[in-house]
Each structure stands twice: as C-alpha cells, then as structure tokens.
Amino acid sequence: MTLTNTHLLVAAISLALALYLGARAGKKVKTADDYSLGGRSAGVKIVAGSLLGTIVGGAATVGTAQMAFSIGLSAWWFTLGCGLALVFMGLFYASKLRTSALSTVPEYLVLNYGPKAGPLASIASSAGLFFSVVASMLTSMHLIMLLFGVNELTAIVCIISSVLALVYFGGISSSGVAGLFKMALIFLTIFVAGYQAFANLGHLTGVQATYSEYYWLSLGGKNWGANLTNFFCLIVGVICTQTYVQAIFSASSAKTALLGTCIAGLITIPVGLPSVFIGLFMRLHHPEIIPIAALPLYMVTYLPEWLAGRGITAMLLSAVGSIGGISLGMSTMLTQDIYAPFSGETDKAKLLKLNRLFMLLVVVASALFSWWNMQSMVLTWNYLSMGLRGAGIFVPFTLAIFCRGCLPRTYGVAAIFFGVLTSLSWRLFFPTWHNTLLPALSMSLLICLWGMFVGKQSSAKKIVVKG
C-alpha cells in the first residue's frame, strides 16, 4: 500500500486540525472534574461528540469492514447495536443519571448498595473497558503498519503520541470536539466510499447476484442466535459503560443529556453499512488480502487522492479517539472509585495528575497486550468487553435507577460479585459456551429477585410487629 504526497499532505492537515480543535477545547481544564466531566456544562453537541468520539472507533469502521470481508452483512450488528443501545439509554436512563450529580457508575452503585459495591464494580468495569481499548488499539496498529509500512513498535509509539495529543491534556472536552470533527470526516469520506463500492458491485441486484448464498446478505448470518446474543451484549454493555455514562454526567442538564445521547445513537446506527459494502467489494476483487486491510486499501486504491487523505485521517481518528475516550473513562474510575477512597486524597489538582497518569498506563498496557494478540479479530474483543462490563452491574444498576430502595444492600453487592464471577468462570465448566453474558446476567438477576423477595418479607414483618 503506497501513499502519495497528496495522501500524506491532506491527512497531515486534517489530523493537525483535529489536534488543534481538541487542544483548544481542553485549555480550561484545571481540576479532575473539568478533565472528566467538562465542568458539567457540556451542550448537546459536546455530549453527542463525546459519545461518538468513543463508540465510533476502529471497530465500527475498519473492524466492520474486516468482519464483512469474512462473513457479510451480519458485520453491521456492531454499529446497529451500539446505536440502538444509545437511543435506548437516552430515552430511559440519561435524565435519571444526570440528575444524580455523580461522576461514575460505581459511585451510583455505592450510593444505593454501600461502599462494598464500589471496588467490585470498578474492577469489573475497568476489565471490560480494557478489552475495548485493546480492540481499538489493534485497529490502530494494523492501520499505521499498513499505511506507513512501519513495524509494531513504531506503530505503538505513534498511537501513544496521538492519544496524548488528542485527549490526554483536554479530557472529555477534547474528546467531544475531536469526535464531532471525526464524524464529519467519516460522513465525507467513508460514506462516499461505501456508496461507490455499492454502485461498483451493481447496486442491490449486483450484490445479490454476487453473494447468492443466503448468509452473506442476511443480518443473522449463519447463526441468528449468536448475533442476537451479541446484540444483547451491546445493549447491556453500552448502558453499563463508564465512558458513555460519563458523557451523560457532563451534560449541562437532564434534557441535554437525553438529546445528546439519542442524537449520537441515531448517527451511529448507519455508520457500519458503508464499511460492510467496502468489505464485500474487496472480497470480490481482492480475495488475497488480509481482512483487516479491506477498508484502508479501498481508500488508497479507489478514491481520489485528496479524498483518500481525509479518509485516512477519519480512520486514524476513529481508532485513536476511541482509545483516548475509553481510557479516559477507565482512568476516571481508577482515580475516583479506587485510589481516592482508599487514600483519602481530595486535592483536585493532584487527582487531575493521577487521572492523567492512569490514562497513560492504560494506553501503554493495552498496546503491549495488543502486540501479543496481533492476529485476533477486532470485534471479538469488543463483544467480550461489552459482556464483561454488564455481567454483574446491569441488573443492580438498573434497579438502582428505576426502583431505588427495592433491593437490600447485601443482595446488591452479591449480585455484582456473583455476576462477574459467573462470567469469568463459566467457560471453565462449559468450554464450548462462547458468550458468558447470559448465564452471568441470569445469576445476577436471580440474586436480585431473591433479595427483593426477602426485602418485601422483612418489610411485611415490620409492619405486622408495629401493628
């Protein structure tokens, strides 16, 4: 894959503009609250931009084209599921979360189930977020190696430097502005490229003739059950993810949180389709390539150089912006929910420095882990991430939002602990079971139902005694 001077010049200008906009947005950051929540003054655009900057990552573009190259239309499930999850979250969760005036998901759980819930939720959420960073890191490394012909170590250095420049100093404000800029580039490049690929395949008639076997153009692919399970994973994972909840907490009002989240969801839904058609086109015309090269190779080969340069920037920002945004959510939890409670540190300037340090450590650790798993499928890590985030948290978190006080604290903590434990240990007993979210959620739900029953029985006895 050879880049011309035009490719490089347009990409460099576009990337420099994104970094400038992000740096300008982050100038006001003075404390940990400014860094993580933007002073709780974000408007609809910044809330939507923060969500898009993270959720539309390398997996949504490069990863979707990679999977479409291998399995067809069912690769769209990722952005379809993420988008619908954000809409659902905006309609039912956003307003209630924003009115709490908290900063993290574990804080919300601590408020309802006591201090023991905090560390459990933080560790489970952080593990899930880490694998999401890995997914975007893999995309970024492959992209840089394919586009610029460098080795793994050089790619890692480039990624870490880009994350530092894009999000490290400005936090959520920089992430929001960069997210909006990235989405503009995606609509100007990847959507154009996707339509061109669709047209070159002969539109719908040509696609159907070329890929006549049913599973290529079926949203369910070869296994509807597995895809629906992955879709459910996305719904649960998005709702429980600190990075997305953090964007809601940063909103200036409950209404702003609702609108920003729903708008981000509606924009996310169609993002994967262009990448699907590009993946199908590249499989037909270049079956010899490695699947992850499908989108970048199409950009460089079939688009005008000036447009391909912008497309390269869109792909890089998708991957790097997602790394920065997710790492920011993880570092916020490590700082606010683990370090601060145990150390007793309250100085916001010191917490800001620590937040940035944790973010850097997360990025470096995910880079090393990705280096050891270079040939793995990007979306595999994303689905694992979504499931792990929600395994023990989703049910007690949802009950705390919609039915506060109905679940005794002890059972809330038990639901979190045994939900996560089930997710981690299930495959030891059932090795062929690929997705552990359903058994983990079932365990968490059973504990919560029993806890609610015990709580009602206890309340009834107290009423009888008082009577």
Residue at 6 is within a domain: no
**The token pair that represents 176 in the structure block:** 């929001």
Among 359, 379, 399, give the residue marking a domain's end: 379
pLDDT (0 to 100) of residue 324: 80
Nearest one of 351, 174, 173, 328 to 251, comparing CA atoms: 173
pLDDT (0 to 100) of residue 236: 87
Per-residue pLDDT tens over the stretch 181-208: 878 888 888 899 999 999 999 999 999 9
Distance CA 239, CA 225 (A): 22
* Same domain (yes/no): 339, 399: no
Residue at 386 is within a domain: no
* Same domain (yes/no): 457, 329: no
pLDDT (0 to 100) of residue 445: 94
* Same domain (yes/no): 321, 413: no
Residue at 12 is within a domain: no
Contact 61, 143 (CB under 8 A): no
* Same domain (yes/no): 133, 54: yes
Among 332, 355, 379, give the residue marking a domain's end: 379
Among 321, 345, 379, give the residue marking a domain's end: 379
pLDDT (0 to 100) of residue 25: 64
What CATH number is associated with residue 49?
1.20.1730.10
- Domain that includes residue 196, residue range: 17-379
* Same domain (yes/no): 138, 22: yes
- Number of domains observed in the structure of the chain: 2
Residue at 3 is within a domain: no
Q: Rounded to the nearest 10 degrees, what angle do helices 203-210 and 272-285 cross at?
A: 50
* Same domain (yes/no): 259, 372: yes
* Same domain (yes/no): 340, 412: no
Residue at 385 is within a domain: no
* Same domain (yes/no): 277, 396: no
Q: Which residue ranges of the chain lie beneath pLDDT 70? A: 1, 23, 25-39, 167-175, 178, 377-380, 382-383, 386-387, 434, 457-467
Contact 137, 365 (CB under 8 A): no
Per-residue pLDDT tens over the stretch 221-230: 888 888 888 7
pLDDT (0 to 100) of residue 34: 63
pLDDT (0 to 100) of residue 269: 93
* Same domain (yes/no): 371, 430: no
* Same domain (yes/no): 153, 189: yes
Q: What is the DSSP letter of 149?
A: -
pLDDT (0 to 100) of residue 91: 94
Residue at 455 is within a domain: yes
* Same domain (yes/no): 348, 264: yes
Residue at 8 is within a domain: no
* Same domain (yes/no): 321, 400: no
SS3 251: strand
